[in-house]
Each structure stands twice: as structure tokens, then as C-alpha cells.
Amino acid sequence: MNGDDQTQDLLVFDGENDIQADNTNIAARMKDDDLDKIGDWVVRCYDADIKSRTDFDTWRAKWLKAVSGFLEEKNTPWHHAANTTLHFILVACLQFYARAYKALIGKDIVKCYSKDGLQKDKAKRAENYMNWQLRFDMCDFLSDMRRSLVALPLDGTIFKKTYPDYETKQPVSMFLMVDEFVVNYRTRSLNNPRTRKTHILWLEIDLIKDRIENKIFLDAYPNNTLVPEDSKLPGNMPETREMQDRVEGTTEPETEFSDKRNLLEQHVYLDLNYDPKEQKLKKKDGKKRPYIVTVDYTTRKVLRIVSREVWNPDRNRFDVLEYFTPYFFIPNPNSIYAFGFGQLLFSMSEAANTALNQLLDAGHLNNIVAGFINRRAGLRRGDMGFEMGVFKEVDIMAPDIRNAIYQFQFKEPSRVLFQLIGLLFEHVQRVGSTPEALMGKIPPSDTAATSMLAAIEQGLVIYSVLQEGMHDSFRQELEKIFAINHDVLDETVYAMVQDHTSREFQTLQSGKGDFASKIGIIPVSDPNITSRAEKLIKAQTTLAEAKQNPLMTNPRALYPATVNYLGALEAPAEVIDGVTRPDQAQPPPPDLPPEQENAMFLKEQSTPVLPQQNHKKHLENHEGFRLSHHFEQMTPHGKKLHEAHEREHMAHDYLQEEQARKAIVSQMGGA
């Protein structure tokens, strides 16, 4: 299946470990009358879901206009009056995006673990592969993550669609805007399998023809009725699309230049009795089951029906596949469509724009010269412009020219409006979680690290809660990608990206076996840490405490604190790997000849004395070195090292003599 198709095939287990795709298009085995009823039902359900969020879409058009700064010609209170926009919402969205992306995507993205403690090698291999896969193999994953984190704070909700692509042998996790994915506004949970979900597809004509030829789609376009149509959003969402086109400077394409048709891919429960195991359509039993139905919106003809049930051997039952993962900004208790900066900041942004434009208009009026001229004053009509250094003659009947001309006197721009804009900006900063410490401003030099950490945490009190929600949604998306890898994994690529010198690679048997139910996956990101500065300060404080606290000043406590600190600094992997674990066996020091030891003393270096050395020979050589001219040229520190080294040899020599004497006495006593 091509990833451009955006229609999914069912995953079913064939045996205990293998997963295969059931490509059966159930619609091909159904009667036309039944298909027409299903197609009409799907479109009517979609229209009802669109109607339920009409007000939401209307407001979205206004938020889009505010965040884009789109300006229309303003003719009130006069022609071409000030019409400037303050980008409060856009700045808040960018601040959120910058912090959220860094919090979710780091040097590593995922961490796999063994649920039973017996699959550590499998978990490590799966972790290595998925970190490589998400960053390099799934080429659109990171770019979609960036786009989704910009759209999320504006709309409040975005969706990711995760499905397998069998041609490229990799999962696809696609970012969907609110325009492209529709559920009823009163829906509260997307995880409920009975929730009706519709993905709007704009599919090219040639791709539809290809699917028809490959029996993926039914041929529902007789007599050459498969023609392009206007690529507008189907249903009742014209305002948002119209505003987006105006902001981007584009217009809807003419029908004759379009090469797409509007299709609806609806995940819905239907009264069909299809058995995925037997791949057989049975007689209806009145029980509704989960299916994916693809319908042409204009003709209401069904193109494809696929079951969403998959056999789970661990639970000995059928589970319902879920392709969509919602990301929420501020959860809405009454709807799946959460709150974003659009709702929170739109009114304040409009108020600030009004105040700013009034200030600009007031300044404009204060700088112009205008007024009234008495028609009966006798002044000659025409150009009466001012010219530097020139006195112009006027023919006037009035005794005083000031009595004939009245100049408007406008007040200076209001200071109250200026202060109001500042007040609104401060409020936007609080709502957008952008205190000075998070905007790159340097704190006073005497600010303690703990005080700075407390200020950052207080400034991010709102964002930290949002981060936990994103972390949980990201985990759900990763779990879907992990499960799909069991089906589409390329074993050759999987083995290639592993470290061939590691122990985990030596135990590799089956790559697909590593993506099993006993392996768990979570994001590497810590939902409790919302910034790199906070992470670094905490790691630094932990390391300092480990060095000073008497209960922690041991290698076993210092090692994890040191590794954590280096990780917070984003040190290279070779530096972190170079930190020696306290439980690792250390190689013995080399047994150097006395001449080489003397050379090391000249360089102010020393080497330990080994018990097995010939201490008398070493002492004779060191004593001769002490009488040479080389010793006289040594630094005081080098001489101290030499003296300490000699005393250590003397101690070992004394112990060897005592051991030999005791051995002789013991032998004589035994005799």
C-alpha cells in the first residue's frame, strides 16, 4: 500500500508471532443497495459532526486572522486609517513551540524497557533502532512534530494519524489539522473505539484510478464520471478555508485545474458481520463492529470497507485498532476540542490592536494641519502651501486673517492608552508563560542557583502541566509506531543500525521479535522538567550535594550524579562513556623498570609500587639516580615523588624480608 493513499489495511495475527495485512475490501462482497445506504449514512454523519462545531470553526477563522496579522483596508473613522496588528498570539505560540520541541525531542527520543526484566537486550536493540528511525528513516516525523507544536497552542487540539506503509516498510505518523479531521464537538474521548472519526482526503484522480485497478477501491465511477472537482473542504467549513486562502494570498483553484476529489475516510461502527480470521462476510446478527469506510463525498459512493479488528493472542480476543492520537493544549471538560491561545488571547489582542491604532491615529491627527476657511473672507482659492523663507501675499477683506481661518487643535496621543497596551502585554506574558528569565534576559550576578530555579519553576507553572499532557500523548503515538514495527520491520536495516560490537547485537535473533508485548516504550523527555536551564541547575545541585554530603561521598553515589550532570550539559557520548563505573574492574598498573620510573620523576609523574617487583634492585637503581646530575635538575615536587617512591619500595622490601624470616622459623620449628 502506498503511503499517499492514506487508507489503512487491517493488521491480523497469523500464528503467535507474525502479523499480516488483511487487504480484503469487504465492499466488493456487498450488494449495491447496501453500499448506497452505508455511503449516504457516512456522509450524513459527517455533515452532522461538521454542523456541531460550526461556531468553533467560525472562531477559528478569527484566530487565524489574528495570528497571521492579515490586514484589510480600513476606512473608518477615515480613509486609510491606522490598521496595525500586535502579534500577541503568534509570539505566545512561538514561545510554546520553542520550549515544547526542546522538551520532547532531544539527543535521544525514546527509551525502551523490559516489562518482565528478562528482555533487556531486546529493549536496548529496539531503543537504538527507533531513535534512528524517528530521526532519519521517518523523514517527515520531525517536520510534522514542528508543525504540530506550532498549531497546537493556537487551535488547542491537533491530531496525529499513525499507520503502516507497506511499500517503504516503515510506519507513517501524519500531522492532521483540525480542518482535516472531524469528530462531533461533544465528543470527550478519542480512545473510545465507538467514537466516530472522519479523515478528509484530497486524493489525486490518477491515484484513485490506480487503486481501482489494484482492486483496493471499488469502481464507483461508471461512464467516465471520475472527473476532478473543486478542492474545497466538504461540508460546512468555508470560513476557515477562505480566511486561510486570503492570509496566504491564494484562491481556490478552478474545477478545470483541479486534479483531486474529496473523499471521506470514516472510522465507524456498522452492522456488518465480517470474520477477520476466516476473511468471510457472514449473515448480519444485529451487532455493530468497527470498520473503516472510504466514501466519495460528492457522489456518496462507497469505495472501500475494511475491518478494524485485530486478533490479540495474549488476551485471546479481538482488539480494535486505533490510528489517531490527540494532542491537547488546555483540556476542555465538555469537548475533545481543547482551549488554545486563540480563545485565551484573542480578545486581549483585539483590544491591544484597537488601542495601538487609536494612538497612531491620534499622532497622525496631531501632526497634520487642517481646519476651516471662511468662504466670505475674500481669500483667493488654490494652493496656499507653506514655503520656507517666503512670505505669500493674501487678498483678504477681513480685518484679521485669524478671524477667517480656524485650525483644528487635536490633543496629543493618550498616555492612558499607552499604559493600557503595556498592561495587556504583561497579562499576555503571564498567560503565555514567558517571564523575563525564559526570554533570555540575564539575571543579576548575585542570584543564587536555587533562587533562579525557583523563579523558572514559578514562571513555568502553567507550561509544566501542559508538558505532562503532551508527554502522555507522545507516549501513545510512540506505542502505535512500536506496534507497527512488528509488522513492517525490515530485518536487514534493523541489523545494520545496531552496534555490531555490543553484547546486544550478539544475541540478536529476530528483529520483529524485539517489538513484542513484553517490551515497553516511553519518551526520553521528562514531563517534570520543562527547560534545559532547569535540568542543568537540578543536575548541578545534585552533583554538588553528592560531593559534600558525607552519606553520599562514595563512588557509587558520585557516578550517577556525574553522568546526569554531563547529560544535562549535552556532553558528547564518548565523554559520558569515559566515566568509569565504580563496579567495573580496573586494569592493573604496568610493571615498569626502575629506569622508566626515574624518567617519570623528571616529568613530575609517579607510578605505584607493585608487591611482586624486585625491590632491592629498584632501590639500588633509584639510589644511583639520586647521586646523578639528573636528580639535581629535578623540581622539588619531582624529588618528593622520588623520595616517597623509595620509601614505598623500602616498606615492601621490609615486608618481604619479614615473610621470609617467618617462613624459615616456621620450617625450623616444624623440624
DSSP 340: -
Q: How confident is the model at residue 530 (pLDDT cuts 50, 70, 90)?
A: low
pLDDT band at 534 (very low <50, low <70, confident <90, very high): low
pLDDT tens readout for residues 538-591: 777 777 777 776 655 666 677 787 877 777 776 676 666 666 666 555 567 788
Q: Over the range 431-466, which residues count as b (16 or more CB within 10 Å of their CB) and which as e?
A: ebbbeebbeeeeeeeeeeeeebbebbbebbeebbeb
Question: Which range scores top for mean pLDDT: 281-285, 325-329, 401-405, 521-525?
Answer: 325-329
- pTM of the prediction? 0.71
Contact assessment for residue 307 and residue 291, using Cβ atoms and an 8 Å cutoff: yes
- Provide the 3-class DSSP secondary structure of residue 88: helix
Annotated domain spans of the chain? 10-69+111-342, 531-584, 594-670
Beta bridge partners of 201: 263
How far lies 327's CA from each of 54, 92, 152, 272, 623, in Å?
21, 18, 7, 32, 77
Is 168's pLDDT higher than 90? no
Q: Using one digit for the tens of pLDDT, what is the confidence trace for 173-232?
A: 999 988 899 999 999 988 888 999 999 998 899 999 999 998 999 999 988 778 887 655
- Model confidence at 277, pLDDT cuts 50, 70, 90, reads confident
Please write the tens of the pLDDT for every residue from 357-368: 888 888 877 777
Average pLDDT for residues 235-242, to the nearest whole number?
57
Integer-rounded Cα Rg, in Å, for the chain is 38
Of the two residues 412 and 210, the one the predictor is more confident about is: 210
What's the pLDDT tens digit per position in 449-487? Answer: 555 555 555 556 667 778 888 999 999 999 999 999 988
